[in-house]
Structure 1
């Protein structure tokens, strides 16, 4: 299976506010630049309040504009994945008025709100279903951040309720566009935050793929340095962590977001970071694709974004290719001529974070945690370690399916054998 390469599409003109003042010619210019990198797909973000301003209304003109983007992408050989509940983007929340203030209702548990979400996602999926370049829906961007701290006004939800919500909304997508690549995604609290209601099991066992969002500003670059092995291997680590939680050894993992955030990754090193991150991720056997964040910088004309958000693009606002963009283009070209070898990882580090349903001790997987430190030590030694859950660490069939021949525990990594 060849790895897919794409980018999260952030319009050069107006950021995601472009849906309010849609300009197809501007979109086409952006897509010309993206296609010039040799990429094969984009991820697109409708703004939820713009598309569904009332619980019973999905705007026909908004759907028309979305289809125009998908069709323009097809003309340039680009497939399109579409996110639904936007949700949360670059530190801003976008929730329709019928879920906030005087209509404040829990987006995960209120029956009317969930029915409205299902109606919206089904409407999008149905409209997109006949487009041959439509990959599938992602429920929304990192919607798990609404469920727990540090969000200032969370919608509390239990682990079982979160699972039911995911199944309900993915079923709405499947009903609208049967057989497509429908997924859900989360920011890394799902893997690293004890007590978070969205769990690793949810991420890896529900949906067509496990989606990973890898950001080294989560403490990795701060603790180890922007030019460290930990930072260069972090996306690879998260892909392997995600693969471990799947019950199907062949379940695909989509590195759906990864980027080079300044100042943790200085602008002059963004290309080098991109090249190293991609090369390391490509060694993962279950990798479906890499979708870089993001296509274009946020314009300095727009206020109040966190500083790091302004410079994450592969292109400037006038569609000039940046060093990270060139690094991605080079990686794509190299894959076409000499694909990276995805050799099964023979050594696996055993992960035990308690009950698999709730993963109560998952913080050990984060930067500075014992499990992460042990995995990183193996990686520095060139082991290309996999991760295996404790419950299947002695399951010969599972290990064989993943090509694992040696299982080590965290204390073993610090023994003389692995020193």
Structure 2
């Protein structure tokens, strides 16, 4: 689909005000409705929601009907407020906490990605959630899991090791289960930035950019970007745009949609006084990238400070406070959503591409240069600071005239030529 035909989507990752994601244990539909009212009042059009996998599938052979019914009730409540819903299936990992069923750990330790009993149960779980929502018009589709790649490699303290070919086979199988449950919806997968930045990581850029209905990127500047470049640096304010352009380098379809599915303003890396500016700058820069499906901010509401043991930055990421008052970042995204409502998204083409060499493009063994402080990252950031609007092209395609022409690229620059 050409970008000119797209209307941008703006939404939030839904963090319940009462009990955080533990709210599934004491599900209160009236509280959910009040939360969704406050999200809809910002002018947003969708939410991404997170069932906790151990609560929904506490035994390999048991998917709790009541839990699935509550997910349907949440989706229907969202529809009443004009909100579409994307559902993340395998949680997995959220805000520094792991949520894995007991039948995968300790005495029942089995690899999440390769054990046939585990993968069969995952497949049925994803199919069941998708099928429960398949007839809901406001159901966008499934995301396989939230950054589940973090379980596959270090720095996780107890990783389930897997090869990149096994990771790809697992992703294709899980997405096929989602499609079986709800045919024709937007089903995708989403990784944290080790997929783009970590040498040898089994979840790869090619998988992110070629498998599923869209490419998802999660942009967090506490990964060294803000520490190195400051809260107002070009690299910091354009980090999301950088990831979008980095992902596009692996696309086989030049108009494949990209979803900025997670992005937030983490304190103290982004001071509270600068959160609104960072929000506007980040989204404006992302909107300067073609084929953007939409932006889903992390997160809807602040975490209740009575809850213990979260990293400090996690408590204050909301667009709204824990008592549903609009914060400056929330007001900023509301202004942006209003400005773009009903407007087709068609930014000017990027004509200059920075050449990226990661070795084999499929396995991408040499990704570290793409990370903050890496030669490629810093060259891209330098060009962006100079107003160049750089795209990214893989080294094997840097002299492919047909590829460059299809993307509107007229100039290629190598990192060693920058600065």
- State TM-score, norm by structure 1: 0.97
Displacement of 1:338 in angstroms is 6.4
Residue aligning to 2:3: none
Displacement of 1:51 in angstroms is 0.3
Are the structure 2 counterparts of residues 384 and 314 from structure 1 closer, same or farther at C-alpha, using a change threshold of 3 Å?
same
SS at match of 2:249: helix
Q: In structure 2, which of residues 391, 407, 411 is the aligned counterpart of residue 402 of structure 1?
A: 407
Higher relative contact order (CA 8 A, sep 6+): 2
> Structure 1 CA distance, aligned partners of 2:247 and 2:9?
18
Q: In structure 2, which of residues 195, 199, 212 is the aligned counterpart of residue 194 of structure 1?
A: 199
Residue aligning to 2:362: 357
- State TM-score, norm by structure 2: 0.97
The answer to whether 1:239 aligns with 2:244 is: yes
Residue aligning to 1:205: 210
SS at match of 1:245: coil
Alignment of 1:7-406 (within 5 A): 7-336=12-341, 342-406=347-411
Offset from partner CA, 1:228-249 (integer Å, 9 cap, x none): 1111011110110011111111
> Structure 1 CA distance, aligned partners of 2:344 and 2:46?
18
**Alignment check: 8 A CA contact 1:146 1:155 kept:** yes
SS at match of 2:341: helix
Unmatched tracts of structure 2, length 5 or more: 1-5
> Structure 2 CA distance, aligned partners of 1:372 and 1:339?
30
> Structure 1 CA distance, aligned partners of 2:402 and 2:362?
22
**How well do the aligned residues superpose, as a CA RMSD in angstroms?**
1.0
Displacement of 1:403 in angstroms is 1.4
Offset from partner CA, 1:41-76 (integer Å, 9 cap, x none): 100000000000111111110011000110011011
Greater alpha carbon shift after TM alignment, 213-222 vs 391-400 = 391-400
**Alignment check: 8 A CA contact 1:220 1:367 kept:** yes
Are the structure 2 counterparts of residues 79 and 277 from structure 1 closer, same or farther at C-alpha, using a change threshold of 3 Å?
same
SS at match of 2:218: strand
> Structure 1 CA distance, aligned partners of 2:200 and 2:342?
45
Displacement of 1:401 in angstroms is 2.0
**Alignment check: 8 A CA contact 1:283 1:340 kept:** no
Displacement of 1:10 in angstroms is 0.3
Unmatched tracts of structure 1, length 5 or more: 415-419
Displacement of 1:286 in angstroms is 2.0
Are the structure 2 counterparts of residues 123 and 348 from structure 1 closer, same or farther at C-alpha, using a change threshold of 3 Å?
same
> Structure 2 CA distance, aligned partners of 1:153 and 1:336?
45
**Alignment check: 8 A CA contact 2:7 2:345 kept:** no
**Alignment check: 8 A CA contact 1:243 1:286 kept:** no
Are the structure 2 counterparts of residues 269 and 339 from structure 1 closer, same or farther at C-alpha, using a change threshold of 3 Å?
farther
Offset from partner CA, 1:266-302 (integer Å, 9 cap, x none): 1111111000000000000021110000000110110
Displacement of 1:341 in angstroms is 5.0
Displacement of 1:407 in angstroms is 1.2
Aligned length: 414
The answer to whether 1:2 aligns with 2:7 is: yes
> Structure 1 CA distance, aligned partners of 2:49 and 2:375?
37
SS at match of 1:61: helix
> Structure 2 CA distance, aligned partners of 1:339 and 1:262?
33
**Alignment check: 8 A CA contact 2:8 2:343 kept:** no
**Alignment check: 8 A CA contact 1:235 1:258 kept:** yes
SS at match of 1:163: helix
SS at match of 1:217: helix
SS at match of 1:49: helix
Displacement of 1:365 in angstroms is 0.5
| Ranges of 4+ aligned residues in structure 1 off by more than 4 Å | 337-341
**Alignment check: 8 A CA contact 2:49 2:87 kept:** yes
Are the structure 2 counterparts of residues 337 and 4 from structure 1 closer, same or farther at C-alpha, using a change threshold of 3 Å?
closer
**Alignment check: 8 A CA contact 2:7 2:342 kept:** no
Displacement of 1:396 in angstroms is 2.1
SS at match of 1:150: coil
